[in-house]
Structure 1
């Protein structure tokens, strides 16, 4: 839609006189003069169906849509958009499931722009053209769709595409970027070529180097398969190695603020990472693939997954959630806030705050701030330095030592007093020095 005025609510219907018209919908157009940014972001949602289509369907997707609708209503006339980063409908070759999916997201997509990037369940098939020797994870996840429904049912910015090597249309909507308020968003494909010499890698280089940080101080990268995860994704290990080799240096060099990933069906927030190391450089990585699909080995015991293994949490992983949900991004030119909302109660369970200066603050569900500070040392209360320990934790340690010292001093003083008192009482017999 072109020639829209900025930040104005439009009302519209869809259809024709012959075929009939929809009910009246409305949306608020983007305001290019505003510094504010609001987005609802998640991966791996799928759709709920009244039929037993697969062993595990995506019934939780209903709750995801419900809570995002609540947040949209609370926005009033503020514009926003939805970001669905891969594994869209889980149709896997059954076209009627795409219809079911679009019916389910209509309350969202009729009000907000619905941005997507491609996932393995839209694309992967053994005959796809890009299948390097190290990409052992490419199977029949797409059910033979080979990216065709994904390419034709969505129309994203840019003109990125890759040939399929068959008579099917080229795969579209692979990598693109745009500005909204104070944030520059970049979408990439983890299912097509991103290594040295690829068109996608050249696009990412040019795009990141051209970002005007005075206009958009925050840069958010989004793709499907994660660069970092603590789940049991052994099959994707070669993929992550190539991402670390070809993509991470670009992220670090160009000061990417935040990297969001799907594929793993849980929420997980990391520190600022560069080559598996927490520090003051590199983006904060967050896995947000918890919008509906459910099969992932878990981190905490759940009554309906008693036989699934549980994986330990390393220090670089600062928060892991076992519940379904979505994330809500709100940004101004001063600060970007990412909140994890749980479907089970509609409440925020983890919050990440990043200042335009690059300082990273994170508030977990317990209300304790944690994440690396760009200063590399003790800063404001709750800010973490490179040591990975917050000022708050140092305060607790110091207070504990002080209390321990007071206790030891009290005990020592009491013992000394008791001995002195015993020396002046009648419960001892004096002796002469020569008798001693």
Structure 2
């Protein structure tokens, strides 16, 4: 009889046993860093699902924990899906950070604090900045994520460049975006996570992308530039050429901005301080994938015979979108301009293009055209990502890491330039 009563009691309480607690809507999540382009500064961005204060408590490594604090802003964001899910995006800028120091921090409010994270401020005078580069990393099949987590924990990266298709963040009423941002917190809360928009961010006029990320400038993270060590990095939106239903104004605004930015970066005093100019944009000018994408056509929207991007003096152009890795010979106007037969990347007469879109997503990897053009130098369908490090004013390293081959570097080059700028091309 006791057993029967006990069983009845368990059945009565069964609904309480299987229903989990509701999420803490004031708890910070999706924490990520970005560099605002101002020396000694860092932006911390995170999400809650109820409105709270926006605070970051931080301190230099080894000091009294969290003895500094900074307050920021909170912006409500309503996803445009049919559920109209609402979230709150918090942004706090930390200033007067000392180059070379490490800082520990957490973010939130007295209604909930994040885990404790650490970071090293961006130092614009850093001599040898190191990056991980990739695009098309998704919340499903994020093949490269574990290896990137380890490299982040080892402290070998100064920044990560995510070159578009940032987790298909608008899907399922932005729940996929929430999940993806939670996944990349394991890397993006420790190093600046610098992004550009891709085709999978296009829903509702890129609203999820524009609200979730905090890049430099005042263009809602669509295009911008920043400096680190001897590099001037330009981030572009290739999508302004494809989503004209959102208006052609963005296309012309970006072109005018880019032209002015390149003119400023090429001024002799700026080129002497930052000789390397590197661009990143989602859809490539050139590619040899077998999928009829824009980059497979000579008159592509992004490149085209007249080069839609004014790129005189650009050294390296980084792309993604194609779920492969492809390294090109120095190319301009669909023609190869190697430095020499023996040393093609020594004093090349055109930019070096790298396509790195195989970090891992649910669409898996692409196939290559069996008959590539002369500008295609190396191709791989392995999952992976790219390392880039500028060693000095004349030497830049690029290497492709294969996650399929346990982190092996399957391709690498040194770009050596004794001269940068317009004159280097002639």
Provide the TM-score with structure 2 as the length reference: 0.66
CA contact (8 A) 1:268 1:287 kept: yes
User: 1:14/1:239 Cα in 2 relative to 1: closer, same or farther (>3 Å)?
Assistant: farther
User: Are 1:290 and 2:319 an aligned pair?
Assistant: no
Following TM superposition, by how much is the alpha carbon of 1:312 offset from its aligned partner in structure 2, in angstroms? 2.4
State which of 166, 188, 195 in structure 1 corresponds to 2:236.
188
State which of 303, 306, 322 in structure 2 corresponds to 1:243.
303
1:401-412 matches, cutoff 5 A:
none
- Cα deviation code 1:268-319 (max 9, x no counterpart): 00001011111142201111111112345413xxxxxxxxxx5323331100
User: Are 1:73 and 2:153 an aligned pair?
Assistant: yes
User: Are 1:155 and 2:227 an aligned pair?
Assistant: no
- Cα deviation code 1:187-231 (max 9, x no counterpart): 011111599981111111111111122111111111011100011
Following TM superposition, by how much is the alpha carbon of 1:248 offset from its aligned partner in structure 2, in angstroms? 5.8
CA contact (8 A) 1:184 1:219 kept: yes
Q: Distance in 2 between matches of 1:296 and 1:111?
A: 28
Match of 1:422 in 2: none
State which of 394, 405, 416 in structure 2 corresponds to 1:334.
394
State which of 216, 222, 226 in structure 1 corresponds to 2:284.
226
Match of 1:350 in 2: 411
1:14-413 matches, cutoff 5 A:
14-19=107-112, 21-48=113-140, 59=141, 61=142, 63-75=143-155, 80-94=158-172, 95-123=174-202, 142=203, 145-160=204-219, 172-193=220-241, 198-211=252-265, 212-236=270-294, 237=297, 240-241=300-301, 243-245=303-305, 247=307, 250-251=310-311, 253=312, 255-279=313-337, 280-293=348-361, 294-299=363-368, 311-331=370-390, 332-344=392-404, 345-357=406-418
CA contact (8 A) 1:217 1:356 kept: no
User: Are 1:9 and 2:102 an aligned pair?
Assistant: yes
User: 1:70/1:242 Cα in 2 relative to 1: closer, same or farther (>3 Å)?
Assistant: closer
Q: Indicate the SS of the match to 1:333.
A: coil
CA contact (8 A) 1:47 1:101 kept: yes
Q: Which blocks of at least 5 consecutive residues in structure 1 are unaligned?
A: 49-58, 124-141, 161-171, 300-309, 360-373, 377-436
Larger of the two Rg values belongs to structure: 1
How many residue pairs were aligned?
304
Q: Which blocks of at least 5 consecutive residues in structure 2 are unaligned?
A: 1-93, 243-247, 338-347
Following TM superposition, by how much is the alpha carbon of 1:85 offset from its aligned partner in structure 2, in angstroms? 1.0
Q: Indicate the SS of the match to 2:148.
A: helix
Following TM superposition, by how much is the alpha carbon of 1:235 offset from its aligned partner in structure 2, in angstroms? 4.6
RMSD: 2.5
Following TM superposition, by how much is the alpha carbon of 1:249 offset from its aligned partner in structure 2, in angstroms? 6.5
Following TM superposition, by how much is the alpha carbon of 1:67 offset from its aligned partner in structure 2, in angstroms? 1.4
